[in-house]
Structure 1
Amino acid sequence: MKKLLILAFSLCSYLAFAQQKTNSKEQAISDELTGLRAIGSPANPKVPMRWNHYNDYAGIAKFCQDMAKAHPNLVKVESMGKTFQGRDLWVMVVSDFKTGNPERKPGFYIDGNIHSNELQGSEIAMYTAWYLAENFGNVEFITNLLKDKTFYIAPSINPDAREDFIRKPNNANSPRSGMMPLDDDGDGYVDEDGYDDLDGDGNIVQMRRKSPLGRWKQDPNDPLRLIPAKADEPGEYEILGYEGIDNDGDGLVNEDGAGRYDPNRDWGWSWQPDYIQGGALFYPGTLPETQAIKKYIMSHPNIAGAQSYHNYGGMFLRGPGAEEDQQYYASSDIAVYDVIGKLGEKIIPGYNYYVIHKDLYTVYGGEIDWLALGRGIFTFSNELMTSYLLYRQKATDDNRFQNDEFNQFSKYLLFDDAYVPWKSFKHPQYGDIEIGGSKKNYVRNHPGFMLEEDAHRNMAFTLYHANQTPKLDIQNISSRSLDNGLTEVTAVIINQRVIPTHSAHDVRFKIERPDYITLKGGNVVAAMIVENADLGLTREQKNNPATIEVPSIPGMGNVKVRWIVKGNPGKYTVSVDSRKGGVVEKTM
């Protein structure tokens, strides 16, 4: 009996070992997670990360370094340059480094947080890098994407002011600028310490004062909320603005913070001075951050698509920022934007695809115009977070003070964590007032539990865009003998994605060099682009015939090229060298 028990135990152990070996991957996942992996999420990430909070500069830097250390074959970290205050502008280069030179793959640039109070752009950029690296080898789409493409992901391109927003008292709308001191109202005074936190609670909220001349009253159903008094009824309160004092005696409160300029008005396409475009500085590229980013992007001509993350409003925005620049958007380029933008509306319910100048307002000197029109890069700017996400329905009224969706959301889902209750305060200039209202990280920025879902959906939109950058293949090489010892060699190169190797705007203004298609293995005496094979229409290239220069390989299209080679047919190799489409080669 004892031997039988030992044998049975040994058999059970062997079966358990065999089962463990057979399902080692699944078992490891189960052991680590003690449960079942949720579909669409990385199992056992090498860099554990929570996506329900906002990281400071140290957190962002640590994340970048941790990613490079954990995934050395997929992630490396570079600095694009220094900020005004001397911080590094970190960028993660994400690609499968084992499958070719990352700088010769089609590239995709992502950045966030150009405005300091628009925090979640950084988290969504970081989430994208994390998701790509952690799912490589497990999700086929992600694996193929990193084999084919290279991502340049800059979580924060305004880290000085991000740090100021996180560390110092601010309101939800300040500061949008960087941290360069600037006397932008010409009164000779700059308060580099920022807002005055009257009660020292870390929040810059609203000031109100009871007054028979005021036109606001307390909502009888919600004591935290002010609503406009009706035309035929008296008001109770006047709103005095955000918490603070008049530091320089000019009658204005909170107008003297450091740098009331806009980094997204500092770019060299359609730039206008401050008296035309508010927020502009002294010339295009005044800021060291702008200069560093431009230099980095121009040193990576493989970048074919780009994404900039902003807030607020739930929008996929394309240029141009100004109506007069609409002339630079050819119908073929607009068609590409339409394919991507309209799918985005399905990927993220509540977000809408818009044109900046047409559907919003005029912007001069914006980053996405410089990318799209200055560099020929297909670029979107996503405005993150929208009131639709609160209850999955459209706002009842666009006027913030005419609806109480955010107040109700805070009450029922955040348990009033988003608001500072009104309390009395003795103001040195206004006398008896009350201070209260929404905290700085509410309304514009996602509540924690909503951040990961919107990060994933926006990442999915961006990855769809990135996947539509050119993917080239040499479909066919054929040859036929001609008279007088000549051979005709024809090649067909196809682009399997929506985005062409050059935008029509790029071709028109010759922003980037043409695509090179080269024949090796023969003495080439003539070369041509076949414009219509059925009618026999060709366009000859007389100089350097071995390498044919093609203006663009269209999205979901092809080009046909032909060489005349002297001598006996041999072993021919065709190579395609495209800045934004990558490098491919095929031998007949």
Structure 2
Amino acid sequence: MKTTFKYDHYYKYDELKSNIEFFAEKYPDLVSCEVNCVTEEGRNQYAVTITNKKTGDALSKPGWYLDGNIHAGEVTSSMAAMHTMDYLITNYGEDDTVTKLLDTTTVYIIPRVTPDGAETYLSTPYMLRSANRDYLPEEGGIKGEDLDDDGVMRMMRIKTPYGAWKKDAKDPSVMIKRDPSDTEGEFYDIYTEGVLEAFEGDENLKTKKASWGLDFNRNFPLGWWPDYRQPGAGKYPLSNPECKALADFVLAHPNIGGAAIGHTSGGLLLYPPGTKASKAAPSFDIKVMKEIAEMGKQELGYKPMNIFDSFIHDQESYDSGAFDDWCYQTQGIPCYTVEFWDVPTKAGKPHVWGGEEEPDAGLERYYACVKWVKENAPQYYSDWKEYDHPAFGKVEIGGINFKFTLQNPPENFLCAELEADTKFNIRFAKAMPQLAIDSVNSEKIADGVYKITALVGNHGYLPTNLTEEAKILKVAKPVCVAVKGGEVIGGKAQEKIDALAGYSQTATGAFYGNISTFANACAKKKLSWVIKAAEGTVITIEACSEKAGKAVKEITL
């Protein structure tokens, strides 16, 4: 796929910033860039708006939203957002699909929600969830550090008679569980490579609780719970400025009709609700989210699933406060969490979602992944090596670089993931509702009196209200149709249509060997007015929808 920039590495902040600014400066009629918020360390959370400004204001068209990197280490998602941005801008005017999309639709992209967290992840050996800010820190335990200065925090095995692990006799680089009868031999504990912070009772070692424990995707108002239930939730909903900026952006852009939210990993297309079973949601909403997700499956090869039904393990004390649930369950916006990258499936040991696994399935999966890394990204694997630890004496350090093997693709696998996602994103954005005025006719009733008839419709897949949830929430807005240019003496100068269906609501199927359209969706509405005006007067019909855009048609009497 043709792009302006290369996608064979992960962008640090300066490169991401430079590329965004390049697009905004070179394509002023297509691209606008704003600073959505400034982080504690002074970096910008950028929001980019892409549409052909000559065909209308951004808010006058259906909108579609994309973001990435709400979790600091999930940098594939910010690269995917940048790739989609790049492809759309670079190919406008050359590719018919891209050109039509940006002529009729507005694309909003926030490529890196947490620029501080991502910069720490990409510039240091450290792992973190969302931001490099202390949150409910606890002292004591083994704290992750790059002891051998190879730029990676790997695993550290410590020989001890109390250890729960032992070397596999067939391959000493492989650690297997000590079984109940193992009373003789060498045994080990395995921790993250790191240093010991003393604590009371430290004769029994433990991993230190992460000080950078904020989880931005537990900080949104829908289903928020305090930290006792969902670690990293923050002091209160939207307490993180980066999260509040996302919510404010969506509310400030009411034309947004769909959202794709980037994460890693797992090779999944997750759709809401995540706080209740899918059978408790409107059946139409689940239908359309499944159908859109099927396009993602076709392009990415990822598995679509409902968050609550299949992805959540504990359906009583589940995690919530997520952005996708907030978008759907407060704004009625259909949205997806795209979990990029899936080594277990490539390694032949895929996750079993929504079902029971054998007790050792996770360990088998891990070693299948390690084998895949050795064969496909050997630069990110290190054999066990002795290290003289200041607290534990002789230990061994080794294993994979988790960051760029399991959590994100090795660089040579990156571009293929991004290209597949861009294809899905374009198809998703094309599913937005699209308002149209199919025809306007006039009929002379008497001298200076005319009957005007207009056929207003929605040419898009989604209805103008997007979802049934939007109706339940009372956030769905009607389609407004106004007539201008004469005195209205019959009908209202401004009519309102509650909603226009999309072709997603057309009833189709197979019946006795034939395929059939059983009933059209209510996607069209005929309106009429009686106008008093002189012959030759130009009458303008203007239809507006918050989610489906604006359509205008004129007729001369």
Range into which the TM-score falls when normalised by the shorter chain: 0.7 to 0.9
Per-residue deviation, 1:124: 0.5
One-letter amino acid of the counterpart of residue 549, structure 2: G
| Cross-structure match for 2:381 | 419
Identity score, percent: 29
Query: Would you say the 8 A contact 1:182–1:190 is kept in 2?
Result: no
Query: Would you say the 8 A contact 2:159–2:189 is kept in 1?
Result: no
Whole-Å separation in 2 of the counterparts to 1:305 and 1:156 = 18
Q: Which of 129, 133, 154 lines up with 2:89 in the alignment?
A: 133
Whole-Å separation in 1 of the counterparts to 2:11 and 2:389 = 34
One-letter amino acid of the counterpart of residue 338, structure 1: K
- Secondary structure class of the residue paired with 2:332: coil
Per-residue deviation, 1:510: 2.3
| Cross-structure match for 1:549 | 496
Per-residue deviation, 1:287: 0.4
Q: Number of matched residues?
A: 517
Q: How does 1:58-97 map to 2 (within 5 A)?
A: 58-97=14-53
Q: Which of 567, 573, 576 lines up with 2:540 in the alignment?
A: 573
| Cross-structure match for 2:58 | 102
Q: In the superposition, relative to structure 1, how do residues 395 and 179 fare at CA in structure 2: closer, same or farther (>3 Å)?
A: closer
Q: Which of 298, 301, 314 lines up with 1:346 in the alignment?
A: 298
Whole-Å separation in 2 of the counterparts to 1:57 and 1:158 = 10
| Cross-structure match for 1:176 | 129
Whole-Å separation in 1 of the counterparts to 2:551 and 2:14 = 41
Q: How does 1:401-420 map to 2 (within 5 A)?
A: 401-403=363-365, 404-414=367-377, 416-420=378-382
Q: In the superposition, relative to structure 1, how do residues 73 and 375 fare at CA in structure 2: closer, same or farther (>3 Å)?
A: same
Q: Does 1:443 align with 2:406?
A: yes
| Cross-structure match for 2:122 | 166
Q: Which of 280, 285, 300 lines up with 2:233 in the alignment?
A: 280
Q: In the superposition, relative to structure 1, how do residues 342 and 50 fare at CA in structure 2: closer, same or farther (>3 Å)?
A: same
Moved more, 425-434 or 292-301: 425-434
Q: In the superposition, relative to structure 1, how do residues 552 and 231 fare at CA in structure 2: closer, same or farther (>3 Å)?
A: farther
Q: Does 1:494 align with 2:444?
A: no
| Cross-structure match for 2:199 | 249
1:54-113 deviation per Cα after TM superposition (whole angstroms, max 9, x unaligned): 111111111111222333332232110112322110122222222221221111111111
Whole-Å separation in 2 of the counterparts to 1:258 and 1:159 = 18
TM-score, normalised by the number of residues in structure 2: 0.85
Per-residue deviation, 1:247: 2.1
Q: Which of 215, 238, 245 lines up with 1:292 in the alignment?
A: 245
Query: Would you say the 8 A contact 2:221–2:237 is kept in 1?
Result: yes
Per-residue deviation, 1:455: 0.5
One-letter amino acid of the counterpart of residue 462, structure 1: N
Q: Does 1:331 align with 2:262?
A: no
Q: Which of 254, 260, 268 lines up with 1:301 in the alignment?
A: 254
Per-residue deviation, 1:268: 1.3
- Secondary structure class of the residue paired with 1:218: strand
Whole-Å separation in 2 of the counterparts to 1:210 and 1:391 = 30
| Cross-structure match for 1:260 | 213
Per-residue deviation, 1:213: 4.1
Q: In the superposition, relative to structure 1, how do residues 460 and 486 fare at CA in structure 2: closer, same or farther (>3 Å)?
A: same
One-letter amino acid of the counterpart of residue 97, structure 2: F
Whole-Å separation in 1 of the counterparts to 2:433 and 2:209 = 48
- Secondary structure class of the residue paired with 1:401: helix
Whole-Å separation in 1 of the counterparts to 2:409 and 2:234 = 30
Q: In the superposition, relative to structure 1, how do residues 237 and 519 fare at CA in structure 2: closer, same or farther (>3 Å)?
A: farther
| Cross-structure match for 2:419 | 456
1:170-195 deviation per Cα after TM superposition (whole angstroms, max 9, x unaligned): 2xxx311212222244x5x999xx73
Q: In the superposition, relative to structure 1, how do residues 392 and 136 fare at CA in structure 2: closer, same or farther (>3 Å)?
A: farther
One-letter amino acid of the counterpart of residue 545, structure 2: S
- Secondary structure class of the residue paired with 2:404: coil
Per-residue deviation, 1:436: 1.3
Query: Would you say the 8 A contact 2:63–2:108 is kept in 1?
Result: yes
Per-residue deviation, 1:156: 0.6
- CA RMSD between the two structures: 2.8
- Secondary structure class of the residue paired with 2:55: coil
- Secondary structure class of the residue paired with 1:166: helix
Whole-Å separation in 2 of the counterparts to 1:152 and 1:50 = 21
Query: Would you say the 8 A contact 2:485–2:540 is kept in 1?
Result: yes
| Cross-structure match for 1:360 | 311
Q: In the superposition, relative to structure 1, how do residues 293 and 394 fare at CA in structure 2: closer, same or farther (>3 Å)?
A: closer
1:296-328 deviation per Cα after TM superposition (whole angstroms, max 9, x unaligned): 22111111111111011101111111117864x
Whole-Å separation in 2 of the counterparts to 1:364 and 1:210 = 40
1:556-585 deviation per Cα after TM superposition (whole angstroms, max 9, x unaligned): 241314244254796543211111111111
- Secondary structure class of the residue paired with 1:85: coil
Q: In the superposition, relative to structure 1, how do residues 568 and 177 fare at CA in structure 2: closer, same or farther (>3 Å)?
A: closer
Q: How does 1:179-190 map to 2 (within 5 A)?
A: 179-185=132-138
One-letter amino acid of the counterpart of residue 220, structure 2: W
One-letter amino acid of the counterpart of residue 389, structure 2: H
Whole-Å separation in 1 of the counterparts to 2:168 and 2:54 = 62
| Cross-structure match for 2:477 | 513
Gap regions ≥5 residues in structure 1: 1-40, 528-544
Q: Which of 424, 428, 445 lines up with 1:465 in the alignment?
A: 428
- Secondary structure class of the residue paired with 2:40: coil
Q: Kindly name which structure, 1 or 2, has the bigger radius of gyration based on alpha carbons.
A: 1
Per-residue deviation, 1:222: 4.7
Q: In the superposition, relative to structure 1, how do residues 104 and 214 fare at CA in structure 2: closer, same or farther (>3 Å)?
A: same
One-letter amino acid of the counterpart of residue 125, structure 1: A
TM-score, normalised by the number of residues in structure 1: 0.81
Q: In the superposition, relative to structure 1, how do residues 226 and 111 fare at CA in structure 2: closer, same or farther (>3 Å)?
A: same
Whole-Å separation in 2 of the counterparts to 1:223 and 1:481 = 93
Per-residue deviation, 1:424: 1.7
| Cross-structure match for 2:396 | 434
- Secondary structure class of the residue paired with 1:276: coil
Per-residue deviation, 1:513: 3.3
Per-residue deviation, 1:197: 2.3
Per-residue deviation, 1:481: 6.9
Q: In the superposition, relative to structure 1, how do residues 546 and 325 fare at CA in structure 2: closer, same or farther (>3 Å)?
A: farther
Q: In the superposition, relative to structure 1, how do residues 249 and 66 fare at CA in structure 2: closer, same or farther (>3 Å)?
A: same
Whole-Å separation in 2 of the counterparts to 1:317 and 1:476 = 40
Q: Which of 429, 433, 439 lines up with 1:476 in the alignment?
A: 439
